[in-house]
């Protein structure tokens, strides 16, 4: 009996059961700590899709200073990033690149659709080269309306995203 229990396969099963129990016991404090870490270090990808990037730049500037809310200035390497702010219109030529960038980012990753064009197509809804919203390409967490949104609106959107991360369960 004892020998059977300690055979390699059974031992593995036992260990995994034990770890499940451990995770269940430690879930809420550990999850809180991990989410806390994610909230205050959101790194956006430096991918500008259209003109809303001007207001994104203004939000990183000294007056609005999005960094004090834990959103760090747009950064070059997407391997270190966990947030895409889709800054405006996504054209048919840009759409595959946007998906490519999203696929290359490590988990977990979040998407903010900034501006009317990124939400529904906005002013350019009847253009031949513009997608009606980015929902079809990447899963969107927070929509920030406006054309272009004021930096305050963008900051509020970022805080909503942080709220969402705080409540989400880690896997």
Partner 1 sequence: MTSIEEKFEESKRLGLQIVKESEEDRLMTLSVGPQHPGSGHFRFVIKVDGDYIVYCDPDPGYVHRGEEKMCEYRNVIQNIPHLERPVIHDSANITYSYSLAVEELVGIEVPRRGQFIRAIASELNRQVYTLYWLAIYGIFLGHSTMFMWPTGDREVIIDLLEALTGARVTHAYNIPGGVRNDMPEGFRDRCLSQIRYLQKRFKEYEDIFYNNPLFRQRTEGVAVLSKEDAIKLGVTGSVVRASSVPFDVRKAEPYDIYNEIDFKVQYMKTGDCFARSYVPLLDMQESCYIIEQLLDKMPASGEVRAKLQPNPKGPPGESYRRVESGRGALGYYIVSDGTPKPYRVKISVGSFRNMLALPYLLVGQRLADMPAVYWSLNYWPVEADR
Partner 2 sequence: MSANNKEELNKLAAGSQTKHSSSTSDDTAQQQQPAPPPPSTQPKQIPAKPSPPSATAAASAATTTTPPKPSLASSPAKTQPEPPPFEKGLVEQLKNKFGDIVKVVFIKPLRIKIQVEPQDIVGVASFLRDSMGFDHAESVAGTDYPKDNQIEVVYHLGSYSREELAAHILWLTARTNKDDARLPTLINIYKSVEYHERECYEMLGVYFEGHPRNERFLLPEDWADIPPLRKDFRIKGR
* Interface with partner 2 (CB under 8 A): 91-93, 126-129
Peptide bond into 108 cis (omega under 30): yes
Question: Rounded CA gap, 165 and 84, in Å?
Answer: 15
Would you tell me how many other CB atoms lie within 10 Å of the CB of residue 150?
14
Name beta bridge partners: 83: 44, 110
Q: How many residues does the chain have?
A: 171
Question: Rounded CA gap, 155 and 169, in Å?
Answer: 23
With a CB cutoff of 8 Å and minimum separation 6, the contacts of 101 are 45, 47, 78, 84
With a CB cutoff of 8 Å and minimum separation 6, the contacts of 162 are 39, 42, 69, 70
Give the nearest distance from C-beta 151 to partner 1 in angstroms: 9
Q: Which does 106 bind (CB under 5 to 8 A by kind): partner 2, partner 1, none?
A: none
Q: Which does 168 bind (CB under 5 to 8 A by kind): partner 2, partner 1, none?
A: none
Name beta bridge partners: 19: none
Q: What is the C-alpha end-to-end distance of the chain, expressed in Å? A: 35
Q: Which does 136 bind (CB under 5 to 8 A by kind): partner 1, partner 2, none?
A: none
| Minimum CB distance to partner 2 smaller for 2 or for 128 | 128
Give the nearest distance from C-beta 41 to partner 1 in angstroms: 19
Q: Which does 50 bind (CB under 5 to 8 A by kind): partner 1, partner 2, none?
A: partner 1
Binding residues (CB under 8 A) for partner 1: these are 45-51, 53-55, 57-58, 60-63, 74-76, 78, 89, 91, 93-94, 97, 101, 123-124, 126-130, 147-148, 150
| Minimum CB distance to partner 2 smaller for 5 or for 128 | 128
| Minimum CB distance to partner 1 smaller for 117 or for 158 | 117
| Minimum CB distance to partner 1 smaller for 46 or for 168 | 46
Give the nearest distance from C-beta 45 to partner 1 in angstroms: 7
């Amino acid at each position: 009996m004892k020998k059977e229990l300690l055979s390699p396969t059974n031992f593995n099963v036992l260990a995994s059961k034990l770890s499940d129990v451990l995770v269940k016991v430690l879930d809420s404090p550990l999850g809180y700590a991990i989410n806390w870490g994610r909230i205050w270090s959101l790194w956006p990808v430096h991918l500008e899709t259209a003109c809303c990037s001007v207001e994104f730049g203004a939000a990183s500037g000294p007056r609005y200073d999005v960094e004090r809310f834990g959103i760090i200035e747009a950064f070059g390497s997407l391997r270190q990033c966990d947030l895409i702010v889709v800054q405006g219109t996504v054209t048919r030529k840009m759409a595959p690149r946007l998906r490519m960038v999203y696929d290359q980012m490590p988990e977990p990753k979040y998407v903010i659709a900034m501006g009317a064009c990124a939400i529904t197509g906005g002013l350019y809804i009847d253009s031949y080269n513009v997608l009606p919203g980015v929902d079809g390409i990447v899963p969107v967490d927070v929509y920030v309306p406006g054309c272009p949104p004021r930096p305050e609106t963008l900051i509020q959107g970022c805080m909503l995203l942080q709220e969402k991360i705080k409540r989400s369960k880690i896997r």
